[in-house]
Amino acid sequence: MARVGLTAERLTRAAADLADEIGFQNVTVSALARGFDVKPAALYSHVKDVRDLRARVALLALAELADRAAAALAGRAGKDALVAFANAYRGYAKEHPGRYAATQIELDSVDTSAGRPHADMTRAILRGYALSEPDQTDALRMMHSTFHGYVSLEAAGGFRRHPRDVDASWFRALDALDAVLRNWPPA
């Protein structure tokens, strides 16, 4: 009965890795316990329940994504910043599909401030486009929608029916986004 040294943090990281391997929805207390050679019940000392576990993975993923996006954004402005951010976003989603899926759950009660850094950074991108409220928020929502929509449709295989190169379409979407942000239509 050697003790393994479980921790909420270790469990969360392992759960995130597991999510990337087998899909976020398949992350289960039992599967996670198996990975540590431990009985499922052992996890309940460190994590409230499976919902809590998944919320922790979501927070981890949001933090990682924010880090990556911040690094991509450093020293860039305008379209350069837009493209760097977008590629960091999409890159993270492709490398870590399970973690990315985790970011999409509703973490209501938990931590409403988790999306904050993300929102701050996307606003930073828009600084290069001279938009004032409420246009800025509208543009931000559209931008986020485009990124998330593209990435999740791509992941779900929604673009596989057409031979057109998926990366090429992505870059054209960024061109289009840049164009519309530079010339945001008046209300």
Partner DNA sequence: GCAAATACTTAAAGGCTGTAAGTTAACGAG
Partner DNA sequence: CTCGTTAACTTACAGCCTTTAAGTATTTGC
Dist. CA 57–CA 140, nearest whole Å: 25
| Options 59, 105, 110, 124; binder of its own copies; rule CB under 8 A | 105
Dist. CA 136–CA 154, nearest whole Å: 27
Binding flag, residue 28, its own copies (CB under 8 A): no
Binding flag, residue 44, DNA (CB under 7 A): yes
CB of 25 to its own copies, least distance (A): 7
Q: What residue 109 binds from DNA, its own copies, none (CB within 5 to 8 A, per partner kind)?
A: none
Dist. CA 114–CA 78, nearest whole Å: 26
Binding flag, residue 156, DNA (CB under 7 A): no
How would you class 105 by CB atoms within 10 Å of its CB: exposed for 0-12, middle for 13-18, buried for 19 or more?
middle
- Contact status, residue 28 vs residue 14, Cβ threshold 8 Å: no
Binding flag, residue 51, DNA (CB under 7 A): yes
Binding flag, residue 173, its own copies (CB under 8 A): yes
Dist. CA 126–CA 88, nearest whole Å: 16
**For binding to its own copies (CB under 8 A), which residues are involved?**
25, 104-106, 108, 112, 115, 119, 133-135, 137-139, 141-142, 144-150, 152-153, 156-159, 161-162, 164, 168-169, 172-173, 175-180, 183-185, 187
